[in-house]
Amino acid sequence: MAATLDFYFEFSSPYGYMAATQIEKLAEETGLALRWHPILLGPMFKAMGSAPLTQIPLKGDYALRDFKRSASLAGIPYSQPEPFPIATVAAARAAYYAIQNHGAKAPGLIKALYHAYFADGRAINDAGVVLDIVAQQGLDRAEFESAIASDPVKEGLKKEIEDAMARGVFGSPFMLVGDEPFWGFDRFDHIRKWVAAGQKA
Amino acid sequence: MAATLDFYFEFSSPYGYMAATQIEKLAEETGLALRWHPILLGPMFKAMGSAPLTQIPLKGDYALRDFKRSASLAGIPYSQPEPFPIATVAAARAAYYAIQNHGAKAPGLIKALYHAYFADGRAINDAGVVLDIVAQQGLDRAEFESAIASDPVKEGLKKEIEDAMARGVFGSPFMLVGDEPFWGFDRFDHIRKWVAAGQKA
């Protein structure tokens, strides 16, 4: 059985977006079994006394520059969205529901939601926009509209976030190879080397 | 005239240490003119309301793991020092004075100070240990002992830190290629690509 690559991502995270465009390729290259996990950073930032990057003095301006440059150097389309960051609970619930119930279409939906926000500037904090994208991916709008308002989906996502924190996840993107933690799009190369070295360093 | 590579580093920073072992190679590869700048993170963290990585809940444990793994994957000797982090004002002043007055020996001294702390576990928060390393590098112990207690060196380092903050520097390692900012040892590859692409992205 292949070792697992658990991929944790928040829809308002630029580096999460970049990672989502490349994670399937990374899983293929390394032979790891990919599992997608939408999360929300709010509860994690609360635990750390942290804040979104762009709201931190000095670091904020740099972050905006690094988002754009990191995407450009990796050949990924990127246009800094406004407003930023946004609430992504509707998008995260839709992704969570898709992973549970429409596994084959879930990665396409996740990538489409990210692209809508970070390349096309669409307001995915709006549940209506999320449902438009759901429909564009050939999924049932009414089914998802009902799902993202349902208690099992709300509770399921909440539990996903609690489980992630229990495993040490605190940011986006965050990858666990087995139980080995890697934080950031800039750690993809470490994952490659880690796997190539027999999963030790 | 070659574009400049301004390299900012704090002696208590693990990624700063790793960067210091590779920065001359990076300058050679890219044809950039390297300039070394010791800084202290204390005043920068104060401006950002930030704290040393290892003191942040959740992030702290990960950071310790990533220090060790990053060094191992890059083939750099690393042994997590205790205590950590430490006050590095004596080391920073010695490095500042060496850069101003003994330019040819300054990079060797800087790398020796870093190696002493992060590979050999020597207490470079102790001015006596800093001066021992100064002497081991063929520099004059008494001259440096007097220099690091002198007002021009104290004021000079303070101004170096103020100038760095005015240029947007907020962490370690921090590199400016011309005026383009790069934060982190994990941005060395971005610098290579940035220079190869004609210094744009």
SS (H, E, C) chain A: CCCEEEEEECCCCHHHHHHHHHHHHHHHHHCCEEEEEECCHHHHHHHHCCCCHHHCCCHHHHHHHHHHHHHHHCCCCCCCCCCCCCCCHHHHHHHHHHHHHCCCCHHHHHHHHHHHHHCCCCCCCCHHHHHHHHHHCCCCHHHHHHHHCCHHHHHHHHHHHHHHHHCCCCCCCEEEECCEEEECHHHHHHHHHHHHCCCCC
Chain B contacts of A73, Cβ < 8 Å? Answer: 190, 193-194, 197, 201
Q: Return mean pLDDT, chain B.
A: 95
How much is the average pLDDT of A107-122?
A: 98
Query: Is A199 a residue whose pLDDT tops 80?
Result: no
pLDDT bin (cut points 50, 70, 90) of residue A1 is: low
B47 vs A68: CB contact, 8 Å cut-off?
no
How much is the average pLDDT of B164-183?
A: 96
Chains A, B: CB contacts under 8 A, how many?
A: 72
Give pLDDT, residue A150.
98
Q: Return mean pLDDT, chain A.
A: 95
Chain B contacts of A201, Cβ < 8 Å? Answer: 68-69, 72-73
User: What is the amino acid identity at position B45?
Assistant: F
Give pLDDT, residue A107.
98
Task: Please name each of the domains of chain A with its CATH number.
Answer: 4-196 (3.40.30.10)
B48 vs A59: CB contact, 8 Å cut-off?
yes
Q: pLDDT digits over B41-93, tens only?
A: 998 888 777 777 777 777 889 999 999 999 999 999 999 999 999 999 999 99
Percent of chain A residues past pLDDT 70, beyond the cut = 99
Touching check for B77 and chain A: CB below 8 Å?
A: no
Query: Is B130 a residue whose pLDDT tops 70?
Result: yes
